[in-house]
Amino acid sequence: MRRSTLLILMIAAVAASPVALADAGISAKVTGSCQGCHGAGGDSPSGSVPRLNGQQAGYIATRLHDFLDPTREDPHATKTMWGVVTKLDSATFPEIAAYFASQTPTPRGGGASRALEGKRLFAHGAPGVPVCQSCHGAGGEGNGSVPRLAGQHREYLTNQLQRLQLGLRFSDVMHPTLKAMSDAQAAAIVAYLGKD
């Protein structure tokens, strides 16, 4: 009799709070598979590992799917992420993305003269270099599948700009965009957007 009563109470609890159970499942996946490297809530403590807190959910979900095709990724990303994404159910990618997107984003750094030059380049572009904010948002907040750049580690931003420029990371939009960007211009934009 007690066992059946307990079973009825458990079923009622599950029916009453499916969201809580789903959140608990995603939380376990995030904690086990993501936060070990990306930090609590996605606020990575390492300059070489991207911050995910406040990142655009559409971008995170797209990137998780991208990692399932290692031919489109640079070797470092493939080595790091291939083993992670292949162990996750891709149906959970949007939920994982939504979790990180809901976390408080890290604010931009900035303030130095180089950052002020980066702000100008980000907002207005330069000969051969398009306006960054036209896709990434006025404050670098991103939009949908376009990533948030504001508050990202400076080391990570620098590495990604170099990889995109060299074609080591695939992007049919960014590769041609970065061809004309000088190292000094890239460093200024990183100084404006980044936070370490």
Say how far apart CA 25 and CA 33 lie, in whole Å: 12
What tokens were used for 177? Answer: 């965009």
- What is the residue-wise DSSP string for 137-187? -TTS--BTTBPP-TT--HHHHHHHHHHHHHTSS--TTHHHHHTT--HHHHH
2 pLDDT tier (thresholds 50, 70, 90): very low
> Which has more confidence, 75 or 119?
119
Identity of the amino acid at 112? A
Supply the pLDDT for residue 170: 84
Distance CA 88, CA 30 (A): 10
The larger pLDDT score, comparing residue 126 to residue 10, is at 126
Structural domains of the chain sorted by starting position, each given as residue range(s) with its CATH number in brackets: 2-101 (1.10.760.10), 113-193 (1.10.760.10)
The four Cα atoms 34, 36, 40, 45 give a dihedral, to 10 degrees, of -110
Instruction: Say if residues 192 and 161 touch (Cβ distance below 8 Å).
Output: no
Average pLDDT of the residues of the chain:
85
pTM listed for this prediction: 0.83
Better-predicted residue by pLDDT, 16 or 183: 183
In this predicted structure, the answer to whether residue 7 has a pLDDT above a threshold of 70 is: no
142 and 148 in contact (C-beta within 8 Å)?
yes
Q: Among residues of the chain, what percentage have pLDDT more than 70?
A: 86
User: Model confidence over 100-133: pLDDT tens digits?
Assistant: 999 999 999 877 889 999 999 999 999 989 999 9
48 has pLDDT over 80: yes
C-alpha distances out from residue 9 to 2, 12, 14, 21, 86, Å: 11, 5, 9, 15, 36
Q: Phi and psi (nearest 5°) for 158?
A: -60, -45
17-26, 41-50, 152-161: which has the minimum mean pLDDT? Answer: 17-26
Q: Report residue 185's pLDDT band, with 50, 70 and 90 as the boundaries.
A: very high
Q: What is the pLDDT of residues 127-144, one digit of tens each?
A: 989 999 999 999 999 999
Specify the DSSP element, H or E, that contains 19: helix 18-29
